[in-house]
Amino acid sequence: MSTEPFLHSAATAQALELPSLLAVLARLSASDLGRDRVQELQPYTDEAALRAWRSRFEEASRLVGERSLVPGFDVPLQQLLERLVHGRPPIEGIDLVRVADFAKAARAAAQRIRQAVPPCPALAELAAGLQDLEPLLRRIDRTFDRRGEVREDASPLLSSLRSQIRRVRDQLYRDLGEFVGGHKEELSEDTIPMRGGRLVVVLQAGARGRSPGLVHGRSATGKSFYFEPLQVVETNNALQQSVEDEEAERRRILHEVLAETRAALPALRAWADLLGELDLLQTAVRFGERCNGGLAEIGPRHELRLTGARHPLLDPQLAELRSEALGQTGHLGTIVPLDVELTAGRRILVVTGPNAGGKTVALKTVGLLSLMAQCGLPIPAAPGSRVPFLKSLVATVGDEQDLLADRSTFSGRLLRLKEAWEAADPDALVLLDELGSGTDPEEGAALSIALLEGLAEKSSLAVITTHLTQLAAAALETSGSSCAAMEFDPGTGRPTFHLMPGPPGGSEALALGRRLGLPTAWLDRAEARLGSEHRDLRRLIAEVEGVRRDLGETRARLEEERADAEKLRRRLAEELARAEEERRTVGRRLRSELDSFKREITERLRGEVERMRERFEEGRRKGLEAEAVEVLFAAAPVLEEKPEPAPSGPIAVGATVRHVGLGWQGVLDKLEGGRAEVLVKGKRLRCRPDELAPAGTARSDRPDRTYPSDLRTLRRDLDDAVELPPEIHLIGKRVEPALEELDSYIDQAILSHRKEVRVVHGHGTGRLRQAVRDHLRGHAGVAAVRSGAPNEGGNGATVVTLRS
C-alpha cells in the first residue's frame, strides 16, 4: 500500500475508532500472517491500486463462498520464519513439520486459484512466479512424522540403531525380570523404572548390600532405593551408548533438513506473503458476510451516498466479535440505519438536532465507512452505497484537551480546525463534530460560519454537527451546503435517531431536561429568559417541522401504495411466469408425444420396407433360378463332354434324384416313357430318365466337366440375389423413360442399404442431366446430389447420397 499521508494525524483514526474496528476484524483471520496485515491496513492513496485490490476481493469472494481459502493456523508463522534465521529457540522437527504445513496450504490455495472456474486472473497474478518447494516438502515428509519425530527410515544408520536399542532393551527387561523373580521379598515396587538413562529395580531399604550392583539413589521417603544389579550393568552400558548414538544421528538428520529449509527461506517468505495476502482477503470477505455488507461503489467526485448504513462498533450482528476483540459487546438493541447523501450541488451537510440524538454517531458512521471503503473493506450498508476516491480525510470529534501540552479543550479544537482548513480541497472529506462549541456563542458562530464558507469555496466534502442556530441558517444560505436534523418526537420527548434532510432542528435542551426530571420552576424560568427572536425562530422551525411531517406521512402513504403496486406487479409477473412454464410444459409434452409417434411410424415403415425388400429379393431369386435352369438346358448340347452314364439302380416317383450332368437335385414327380419330370426349387424340369441317378449315389472320380464361363457364373448365383450395380447408365435415353428407370434403381438401392450410387447420363445437350438432378433433389430417399469428380465422370455423371 502507498505510504503517502491520507490521515493527516493519528487523531483522525482514533477519533473514528479505526484501531478498534481493525481489532474486531483481526478476530476473523486464520493466521498471524493475516492478523498482522489487518493491523497494518491503511487507506489506499492510489486509485488503480484500490481497484486492483477490489478485483482480488471479488474473486476471493467466489472462492471463499465455497470453502476457506486459508486454513486456520494456531502457530505464529511469522515468528517461526524468524526462528529459522536466528535459531533461537532451537528448531525442532515439529517446527519443520509446521513450516511444511503452511507451505502446503499456500501451494493448495495457489493451485485452487489457478484451476478456478470462472478464472481468477487478479488472484492468479499474486500466485505467479513462486518457487516450487516440492523437493523440500517431500524431504520433510520423509524425515519426520506428524509429531515431529525423526522417522526410523530417515537413514540406514538410524534404523539400525533403533533396532539395536529395542534388542538391548528387551534383553534388559528379560534380565531384570529374572532378578525380580528371584528377589520378590526384597522388592518395594513391581516396576522397572528408568534412572539416569538406565533401567533399574526398586528394592526395600533393608535389602541394601544383599546383592552386588549399583545404587542410583533413594526414594523421597527413604524406604526404598533404585538398584542396578551387577549382571545388567554391561547391558545398560550398551543401551546407554546406543541411545547416545541414536540421538547423535537424529540431530545430524535434523540439522541436515534444517540447512535445506534455511536455503529455501526466500521462497518460504514469498509463499508466506501469498498466504498472508490471501488470509487478509478471506478476512475481509468473512467480515462482509458477518455484517451483511459489501464493497461500496467508487463514486464520482463529490458524490457520497450511504444507504442503510450501520456503525460496525454498534451493529448487533458483530457483538460477539466485539466481545472477543475489545472485551465489550457494545450496543445489542435495534440499530437505526443511516441514510445520508452528498452531491456536487450539496457537498456540505450541516446536521442539527437534540442532545443525545445521534449526531456524533451519524458523523462517525460517515467517517469510518469512508475509511473502510478507502481501505478496500466491505461496509455494513445496503447495495448501491457509494463513496468517492478521496485524497485525504480529517475528523474532529470530542474533547481535544491535552494537559501535558498545556492545551485547553478549545485550543486543541482550534488546532484541529486549522488542520481541517489546510487539508480542505475537492478530494478531501472533512468531519467536524459540535462546531462552534466551547467558547462564546457569538465568536464561536463567527468562526464556524467563516470555516463553512471556506470549505464551500474549496469545494470540499464535509459533514458538520452543531447546536448553533446561526450556523444552520448560514448553511441554508451558502451555495453547496444543506441541512439535516436528527429527528425528535415531541410526543414522547425522545429522539428517534433518524437523520431527516431539510430544515434544521433544535437542541431540545429544555425538553431533555423535562424528560430527565429537572425541577419545573427551573425549566420555566429558563424558558421565560429565551428571547422572543429565539421563540419565533423555534416556532417557525416547529411549523416547518409540522409541514415536513405531513410530507413524510404523505410520502409514507405513497410508498405503501407503491409497495402495493409492486406486490401486484410481482404477483402478475409470477402468474405470467407460471403460465409461461405451463405453456412450455405442454409444448414439451406435445413434442414428446410427437417424437413417440414419429418413432412408432418410423419403426412401422422400417418393418414394411424390410418386408418389401425381402419379397423383392425373393422374387428376383426365383426369377434368376428359372432363367438359369432355362439357360443350362439350352446350353447342354454345347458342353465340352457328354454326361457320364447314369449309374445302375432304380429310381421311383417321390425319390430324391440328381442330374448326372448338371449336378442339381430335386424330387422325381413323374416318370412316363422316355421323359422324367423333376421338381427343383419350385420349378418343374424335364429330362431323360437315364440322366438321373439316386441322390445318394457317389459321383465319378473323373474331374468335373468344363462349362462355359457364363454357365458357371449363373450356377454360382443360383442361391444368391443378383447384386445391385453401383451405377445406372441412362445415356441416349429419353427423359421420361430414363426417370422411370432411375426411380426403380433408386428404390432398389435404398432397399439394398446403399449409401451412395452414381447416375451416368453423359453431357449431350444437358437436358437429361438437368432433368435427372431436378428429379433427384425432390426424391424423398435422396439426401444429397453432386456432380461427379474428375475420376467419377465429371459433369457427365451425378453422385447421389441416399438417406439411411
Would you state the pLDDT for residue 358? 86
CB-facing half-sphere around the CA of 292: CA atoms within 13 A: 10
* Inter-CA distances, 347 with 309, 446, 455, 475, 494, Å: 19, 21, 9, 11, 30
Would you state the pLDDT for residue 617? 67
User: 448 exposed, middle or buried (CB, 10 Å; 0-12, 13-18, 19+)?
Assistant: buried
Q: DSSP letter at 155?
A: -
Tell me how far the alpha carbon of residue 769 is from its chain's centroid.
62
Residue 720 pLDDT exceeds 50: no
Cross-sheet strand order for the sheet of 675-680:
683-687, 675-680, 665-672, 656-659, 692-694
Would you state the pLDDT for residue 719? 38
Q: DSSP letter at 294?
A: B
Would you state the pLDDT for residue 559? 84
Residue 635 pLDDT exceeds 70: no
DSSP 68-119: -SS----S-HHHHHHHHHH--SPP-HHHHHHHHHHHHHHHHHHHHHHT-SS-
CB-facing half-sphere around the CA of 739: CA atoms within 13 A: 15
CB 437 within 8 A of CB 408: no
DSSP 408-476: -HHHHHHHHHHHHHHH-STTEEEEESSTT-SS-HHHHHHHHHHHHHHHHHTT-EEEEE---HHHHHHHH
Residue 543 pLDDT exceeds 80: no
pTM above threshold 0.75: no
Would you state the pLDDT for residue 707? 41
Where are any strands of DSSP class E within 255-356?
297-299, 304-309, 338-342, 348-352
Where are any strands of DSSP class E within 494-551?
494-501
Q: Among 61-75, 92-106, 233-247, 533-547, name the one with the lowest average pLDDT.
A: 533-547
**Most trustworthy range by pLDDT among 410-424, 552-566, 727-741:** 727-741
Would you state the pLDDT for residue 404? 35
Q: Distance between CA 696 and CA 715 in Å, rounded? A: 21
CB-facing half-sphere around the CA of 628: CA atoms within 13 A: 25
* Residue type (1 letter), 680: V
User: 636 exposed, middle or buried (CB, 10 Å; 0-12, 13-18, 19+)?
Assistant: middle
DSSP 378-404: -BSS-TT-EEEPPSEEEEE-S---BTT
Would you state the pLDDT for residue 611? 76
Q: DSSP letter at 480?
A: T
Stretch 294-305: mean pLDDT, rounded?
92
pLDDT digits (tens, 9 = 90+) for 14-49: 889 999 999 999 999 999 999 999 999 999 999 999
Q: Among 102-111, 494-503, 513-522, 582-591, name the one with the lowest average pLDDT.
A: 513-522
Residue 717 pLDDT exceeds 50: no
Would you state the pLDDT for residue 351? 92
Q: Distance between CA 255 and CA 258 in Å, rounded? A: 5
Residues 6+ apart with CB under 8 A from 70: 30, 31, 34, 105, 109, 275, 278, 279, 282
Share of the chain above pLDDT 90, in %: 42
Across all residues in the chain, what is the average pLDDT? 83
Q: pLDDT band at 290, cuts 50/70/90? A: very high
pLDDT digits (tens, 9 = 90+) for 752-799: 788 999 999 888 888 999 999 999 998 888 999 999 988 888 889 999
Q: Decide which of 617 and 748 is more confident.
A: 748
Nearest to residue 17, comparing CAs of 363, 277, 355, 357?
363
- Angle (CA) 421-425-426 rounded to 5° is 145
* Residue type (1 letter), 64: V
Cis before 118? omega within 30: yes
Residue 714 pLDDT exceeds 70: no
Cell numbers at residue 52, please? 486492483
